[in-house]
Homo-oligomer: A and B are copies of this chain.
Amino acid sequence: MTSQTQGRPPITSHAAIEAIAFAMFEEHGFEMTTMDDIAAAVGVGRRTLFRYYPSKNDILWGQFDDSLVEFRNSFREVSPDTPPWDAVRSAILAYNSYDEAALPQHRRRMRLLLGTPALLAHSELRYAAWRAVVADFVAERTHQRAEDLVPVLAGRLALAVAISAYEQWLADGATSLLDHIARAADGVSLHFTEDFG
């Protein structure tokens, strides 16, 4: 990370912007909150806000790109004799392991992301990078190209599992997120080969 030593120092931070914007989104809804509103609340020029985030949609995604690095690393730590799909399952679980304390906030964030049409659509572009991590791993394991059917399919199936689990989790506060994910992953492995039971 190029430590900043010269030039005018940043007037705000991603964290500060996200905190304020997030509160406004929850208060008045995503669509109703304009970039002008956020800029004013943060105390920064609208033009500057667009330098921190390329689009309004991106504000909610925070450190997503960074988290993908961890996700990718978690695949490297899997022993080579673990079956690929088991590895994927473990990686998804690890990726979604949050501190007890961080869960309520995460839940609110995901509720916004999965409940706002504009964000739902935009998410597709972010998910592509997530799927690519899975696809790359499976491609390496199966000695195929990342664009081949099996790796691509693995990425999409993994995402289907993750999102399905999140939807269940948001609707059902009782069960833990990880349990929901495990359940969804089992759904792929078991139910669909015979019946949906």
Does A156 sit at the interface, judged by CB under 8 A? yes
Does A163 sit at the interface, judged by CB under 8 A? yes
Q: Give the chain B neighbours of A156 by CB distance below 8 A.
A: 159-160, 163-164
Cβ distance A145 to chain B, nearest Cβ, rounded Å: 10
Does A138 sit at the interface, judged by CB under 8 A? yes
CB contacts under 8 Å to B, within A133-163, are 138, 141-142, 147-150, 152-154, 156-157, 159-161, 163
Number of interface residues of A (CB under 8 A): 46
Contact B120 A149 (CB under 8 A): no
Contact B187 A189 (CB under 8 A): no
Cβ distance A179 to chain B, nearest Cβ, rounded Å: 11
Cβ distance A169 to chain B, nearest Cβ, rounded Å: 10
Q: Beyond A149-B180, A153-B184, A193-B193: 7 further Cβ-contacts under 8 Å?
A: A83-B195, A147-B167, A147-B171, A152-B167, A152-B168, A156-B163, A157-B160
A136 to B73, CA, bound (A): 38
Binds B, one of A6-14, A23-31, A122-130: A122-130
